[in-house]
A and B are shown apart, each in its own frame.
Chain A
């Protein structure tokens, strides 16, 4: 089946504007993750959804960042009042339920955000 799908693939926005990034996880995957990767840097965890449990938002860098997951599938990451330091690749990932030998995470291609 299809992999993790993210949109838009590229977004250029003006400082102060709000942006929404969308993620469609792999069908049947119960866990969904958002990460951020700045140029030349490693991954930075943002938020984690697992089934109907309350999401782990501990990685969100500020209250300008929020995310929701509707119907246990599609997720939207929203960044309000964007700043230039928000420029990065935003990666979504998903993983299937209850793997007995470790949690294999499958990543999307990312949404490249540039704040000018």
Chain B
């Protein structure tokens, strides 16, 4: 059973914000929302994670709804190098290392 649902693809104009949605309606109270991305021919790269509060780091912002059933990853100023597959996953805070990446969202940033 897929724990998260993401759109298969989306396009974004260079320099604009990219908003990537993720539904995780069955998330449990102690599960975190993680975002990774995978640029072609490279290993997955950690982006950000959160539990309840919105989070921001140098790469992105994560907005989690109050009921925690969905979240949005925001890339504030997309560049061509942000073209990648973006994965939203839910994971426990510890020992849930059997990560399951679904199909993700293929984001294409266009000049």
Q: Which residues of B contact A105 (CB under 8 A)?
A: 46, 97, 99
Q: A91-B43, A107-B45, A108-B43 are known contacts. Are A102 and B51 too (CB-CB below 8 A)? A: yes
A42 is an interface residue with CB less than 8 A from chain B: yes
Residues of B within 8 A of A (CB): 32, 34, 42-46, 49, 51, 87, 91, 93-104
**Given A43, A91, A95, which contacts B100 in the complex, CB threshold below 8 Å?**
A43
Q: Chain A, 70-85, contact with B by CB distance < 8 Å: what is the 0/1 string?
A: 0000000000000000
How many chain-A residues does the 8 Å CB contact rule pick out?
A: 26
By CB atoms of chain B within 10 A, which of A35, A93, A103, A109 has the most? A103
Q: How many A-B residue pairs have CB under 8 A?
A: 61
A33 is an interface residue with CB less than 8 A from chain B: yes
CA distance A98 to B98 in the complex (A): 17
* Contact between A107 and B97, CB atoms less than 8 A apart: no
CA distance A91 to B100 in the complex (A): 14
Task: Tell me whether chain B's interface is mostly helix, strand or loop, or mixed.
Answer: loop
* Contact between A31 and B97, CB atoms less than 8 A apart: yes
Q: Which residues of A contact B94 (CB under 8 A)?
A: 99, 102-103
Instruction: List 20 additional contacts besides A48-B98, A101-B49, A102-B49; criterion CB under 8 Å.
Output: A33-B97, A35-B99, A42-B87, A42-B101, A42-B102, A43-B44, A45-B97, A48-B97, A59-B98, A91-B43, A101-B51, A101-B93, A103-B94, A103-B95, A104-B49, A105-B97, A105-B99, A107-B43, A107-B45, A110-B42
Q: Which residues of B contact A35 (CB under 8 A)?
A: 99
CA distance A109 to B98 in the complex (A): 19
